[in-house]
């Protein structure tokens, strides 16, 4: 399922809403999550999961083609941990 | 920097501010989004949200685990796990914006 398929589904479920409003709603939700993470905040959606930011220290990596050692700088990466309810649903 | 945890209420508030549905309806829409994504994943179909990331389900085989306290061997049954792969856009946004934030706690 893609974002646009999700929008189409929600628009069908909510015939009183304009498709463009549904689109804005979906975009807003993911934008809010992204902007919270970019401020270092955590987003916790009980039953679904939690988005957080993890620190990765700098390390010496290797160019896989040449085998040359390269310094990889420290960075922060988004992380998602599946919520308990969703995990159970997957294995239900 | 004051770090906080964002929950459903802040997300649906953002939807409320953005679209002007009632607060109730905004909350319901958010819930519909999350449950549709969950259902799709439960059917082992992946979900791709452009410029955010993709969620997919991976099957894990059975393996032998160990109770770390007693050292006892216990089988870990085959199961499905959810994998989130952030998009390049999200990764870039987070790496650039948060690189100077000193101590994020990393409670999972």
Q: What is the mean pLDDT of residues A34-60?
A: 94
**Number of domains chain A is built from:** 1
Least CB–CB distance from B6: residue in A43, A74, A75: A43
At A51, which CATH number?
4.10.520.10
Query: Hey, what are A49's tokens?
Result: 């999961």
- Listing DSSP states for A25-59 in one string gives HHHHHHHHHHHHHHTT-EEEETTTEEEEEEEE--E
Averaged confidence pLDDT in chain B: 89
Residues of A in contact with B51 (CB under 8 A): 30
In this predicted structure, what is the pLDDT of residue B107?
A: 45
How much is the pTM? 0.87
What does the pLDDT look like over A52-80, one tens digit per residue? 999 888 899 999 999 899 998 888 999 99
Nearest residue to A29 (alpha-carbon basis) of B32, B3, B56: B32
What does the pLDDT look like over B25-62, one tens digit per residue? 999 999 999 999 999 999 999 999 999 999 999 999 99
Cβ density class A41-69: b for 16+ within 10 Å, e for less: bbbbbebbbbbbbeeeeeeeeeeeeeeee
Is the Cβ of B2 closer than 8 Å to some Cβ of chain A?
Answer: no
Which residues constitute the domain of residue A18? 3-91
Mutation target among B1, B3, B6 for the A interface, most CBs of A within 10 A: B6
């Amino acid at each position: 399922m893609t974002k646009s398929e999700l929008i189409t589904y929600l628009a069908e479920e909510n015939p009183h809403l304009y498709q463009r409003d549904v689109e804005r709603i979906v975009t807003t939700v993911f934008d809010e999550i992204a902007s919270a993470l970019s401020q270092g905040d955590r987003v916790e959606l009980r039953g679904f999961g939690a988005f957080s930011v993890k620190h990765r220290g700098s390390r010496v990596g290797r160019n896989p083609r040449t085998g040359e050692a390269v310094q990889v700088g420290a960075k922060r990466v988004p992380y998602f941990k599946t919520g308990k309810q969703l995990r159970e649903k997957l294995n239900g | 920097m004051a770090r906080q945890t964002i929950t459903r209420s802040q997300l649906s508030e953002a939807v409320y501010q953005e679209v002007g549905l009632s607060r109730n309806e905004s909350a319901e829409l958010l819930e519909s989004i999350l449950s549709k994504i969950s259902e799709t994943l439960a059917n082992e179909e992946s979900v791709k949200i452009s410029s955010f990331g993709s969620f997919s389900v991976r099957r894990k085989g059975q393996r032998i685990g160990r109770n770390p306290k007693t050292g006892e061997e216990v089988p870990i049954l085959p199961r499905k796990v959810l994998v989130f792969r952030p998009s390049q856009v999200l990764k870039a946004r987070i790496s650039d914006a948060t690189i100077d934030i000193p101590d994020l706690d990393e409670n999972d």
